Amino acid sequence: MSSLQTAFTQSQALVGTEVGVSNWITVDQEMIDTFAKTTHDEQWIHVDPERAAAETPFGGTIAHGFLTLSLASRFAYDCFSLMTGQVMGINYGMNKLRFLMPVRAGSKLRGRFTLVDVKARSATDLLRTNTLTIEIDGEETPALVAEWLGLAVFKD
């Protein structure tokens, strides 16, 4: 049996189960400011703590939704390692994505992954679909929920 076939069989057995929970990451104002400069999105709700405290219901600045989403890669590093024979993993995109709760500066986030589906796409690729929930420490509602697709690429 090839390593791809073995990985496929092992992955199929995990469909419907939680396959990883990452470590917590603190989203502080410095991270938000750096992201704002990098993306040229320096809207005041992200970068002006005094104005955000005075003029928003959030009590201060909030992270960009795309900053929160961009942490998905870091959360995946905490949760997944290469399978036997796998040479790389490739982000294949999102099917669904919803931002449910703003992330206040100073919040701690973590990612929770549930394997939804796995398909052999070719002789060298597995397409794995995970539900990603990014949780905010102390909040019942998550920051976001997404259906994330990833290609696991194997040597043939």
Domain ranges within the chain, ordered by starting residue: 3-26+63-154
pLDDT of 47-101, one tens digit each?
999 999 999 999 999 999 999 999 999 999 999 988 899 999 999 999 999 999 9
Which residue type sits at 69? Answer: L
Strand runs labelled E in the chain: 18-21, 25-27, 86-99, 107-120, 125-136, 144-154
CATH number 3.40.50.720 is the correct assignment for the domain at 3-26+63-154: no
Q: Token digits for 36?
A: 């704002």
CB of 111 closer than 8 Å to CB of 133: yes
Q: Is the pTM of this model over 0.85?
A: yes
pLDDT of 108-131, one tens digit each?
999 999 999 999 999 899 999 999
CA nearest neighbour of 92 among 56, 129, 62: 129
Looking from the CA of 125 toward its CB, the CA atoms found within 13 Å total 12
